[in-house]
Amino acid sequence: MTRYDLHIIRRLFTGTFVLLGVLIVFFIVLHYVEYIDDFMDRSAKMSEIFTVYYLNFIPEIVKLTSPLAVFLASIYLMGRLAQSLQIVALQSSGVSLYRLTLPFAVYAVIVTGFMFWFNGWVVPKTNKTVLEFEAKYLKDAPLQTELTNVFRQDRPGGILSIGYFDRESLVAHRVSLQEFEEGQVMTRRIDAIRMGWDPEHSNWVLHNALIRTFSPDGLVSQERVEMMDTTLNIYPSDLARTDRDVESMSIPDATGHVASLRRSGVANLGRTLVGYYSKFSYPFANLILVLIAVPIASVRRRGGQAVQVGLGLLVAFFYLATLKLTEPFGYTGAIDPLVVSWLPHALFAVLALILFIKSRK
């Protein structure tokens, strides 16, 4: 890396920082205008809106807008070099476009790595406060996808059914735990009026439970107990969930959460899986958009930088729009959520490669 490369990286950092500031303000203003009626209808305090909600919302905004900010900073800087004929002069002296791309690529890799950590560990912490605030004050808050008639597979041969689960108190009502041998013959059934979560011991406690034991010939014995511990491999988050729970979890927590939901036999995991896989795929948008910006802006165009920025914005719009338009296919299961999360990035990575191949070296 030369001093010139470091100079380019510093300018990219400065440009990205300024653009992120502008995008954050723009995003907050638009969001506030859209949801001000909800805030007013539910008597949200102004101090809470801006010092609690939007302050914690900023990391999520940074996550969403960082690819656009990095892209605009790259296309603006590369465009200035092209319009001032510096790129032509460098190429004439034997410096290839690939070499000119080096500081941009290094910067993009650094940002991608940082955003992977930022999106996977920092954003989830602030999103907890954001989701709690939205649940209290916004009409479009994420709803519980399951609260009544919940069925979970505890382990092979173990089925848990719940009439109603109260997420606030972590108490399940009308509980039935059925155990089967070879998946067909019931060997034991436990029915309880309620089941509560014990955070100290991290297990469930059944209250007023009736235990029935069966043999192939029928009922063998039954016993009623006032209270009994369980060894269920199910956690409160497995019983009542929202489509956006994974947004408030770090990558390790989200990995465990998804594994737990799958183990419990939860259906309709499309939205949860798309959100989970996006934690890994979305940071790469920073790298791919920079690799698209460099060949687009490296050509001196009639109309100056305005044309280059406009063309770049068009490409960025199609990229980010493709990300959002493909997500519903993953939500419904029409396309595998893993494919949905990575396909747009793969398509535009190919576009970046084609642009480099066709550009003047």
Tell me, what CATH number does 198's domain have?
2.30.30
For residue 74, count CB atoms less than 10 angstroms from its CB and return exposed for 0-12, middle for 13-18, buried for 19 or more: buried
Output the pLDDT for position 130: 93
Distance CA 133, CA 346 (A): 36
Q: Which amino acid is at 167?
A: R
> Of 181, 214, 238, which residue sits at a domain end?
238
Q: For residue 167, count other CB atoms closer than 10 A to its CB.
A: 14
Range of weakest confidence among 42-51, 75-84, 256-265: 256-265
In this structure, is residue 251 part of a structural domain?
no
In this structure, is residue 243 part of a structural domain?
no
Say yes or no: 46 and 84 in one domain. yes
In this structure, is residue 263 part of a structural domain?
no
Mean pLDDT along residues 31-48: 92
Output the pLDDT for position 146: 59
Say yes or no: 48 and 126 in one domain. yes
Mean pLDDT along residues 135-148: 69
Report, in this order, helix, strand and coil percent for the chain, each rounded to 5. Answer: 60, 20, 20
Say yes or no: 173 and 213 in one domain. yes
Say yes or no: 9 and 128 in one domain. yes
Say yes or no: 57 and 106 in one domain. yes
| More confident site: 135 or 340 | 340
Output the pLDDT for position 144: 52
In this structure, is residue 252 part of a structural domain?
no
Q: For residue 218, count other CB atoms closer than 10 A to its CB.
A: 6
How far is the CA of 292 from the CAs of 100, 285, 295, 356, in angstroms?
14, 10, 6, 8
Say yes or no: 10 and 116 in one domain. yes
Q: Exposure pattern of 297-334 as b/e (b: 16+ CB <10 Å)?
A: bbebeeeebeebbebbeebbeebbeebeebbebbbeee
Cβ atoms of residues 274 and 333 within 8 Å: no
Cβ atoms of residues 57 and 126 within 8 Å: yes
In this structure, is residue 202 part of a structural domain?
yes
In this structure, is residue 266 part of a structural domain?
no
In this structure, is residue 322 part of a structural domain?
yes
Output the pLDDT for position 87: 76
Range of weakest confidence among 32-46, 165-179, 262-276, 340-354: 262-276
The DSSP output letter for 121 is I
With a cut of 60, say whether residue 279 has pLDDT above it.
yes
In this structure, is residue 177 part of a structural domain?
yes
| More confident site: 240 or 20 | 20
Output the pLDDT for position 181: 82
Angle at 45 between CA 166 and CA 119, to 5 degrees: 65
Mean pLDDT along residues 337-356: 94
Give the pLDDT band of residue 148 (cuts 50, 70, 90).
Answer: confident
Cβ atoms of residues 178 and 159 within 8 Å: yes
Say yes or no: 38 and 119 in one domain. yes
Range of weakest confidence among 23-27, 163-167, 282-286: 163-167
Output the pLDDT for position 37: 92
> Of 190, 221, 238, which residue sits at a domain end?
238
Output the pLDDT for position 360: 65
Say yes or no: 100 and 80 in one domain. yes
Q: Which range, 83-87, 230-234, 320-324, is most confident?
A: 320-324
Output the pLDDT for position 359: 76
Give the pLDDT band of residue 72 (cuts 50, 70, 90).
Answer: very high
Say yes or no: 48 and 75 in one domain. yes
| Look-up of token digits 């735990």 | 177
Q: Which range, 59-68, 135-144, 238-247, is most confident?
A: 59-68
Q: Which among 129, 25, 117 is positioned nearest to 69, based on CA atoms?
A: 25
Count how many domains the chain has.
Answer: 2
Output the pLDDT for position 361: 57
Cβ atoms of residues 232 and 160 within 8 Å: yes
Say yes or no: 134 and 277 in one domain. yes
Output the pLDDT for position 252: 94
> Of 219, 238, 257, which residue sits at a domain end?
238
Cβ atoms of residues 9 and 106 within 8 Å: yes
Task: Give the structural domain span for 292.
Answer: 3-140+272-358
- The rounded percent of the chain whose pLDDT value lies above 90 is 55
Mean pLDDT along residues 38-60: 94
Range of weakest confidence among 68-82, 136-150, 293-307, 320-334: 136-150
Mean pLDDT along residues 321-333: 91
Give the pLDDT band of residue 157 (cuts 50, 70, 90).
Answer: confident
Say yes or no: 94 and 128 in one domain. yes
Output the pLDDT for position 212: 93
Mean pLDDT along residues 286-315: 83
Cβ atoms of residues 100 and 90 within 8 Å: yes
Mean pLDDT along residues 314-341: 91
Range of weakest confidence among 73-82, 264-273, 302-311, 330-339: 302-311
Distance CA 275, CA 240 (A): 17
Q: pTM above the 0.85 mark? A: no
Say yes or no: 40 and 119 in one domain. yes
Distance CA 2, CA 112 (A): 22
How far is the CA of 330 from the CAs of 230, 249, 275, in angstroms?
36, 20, 10
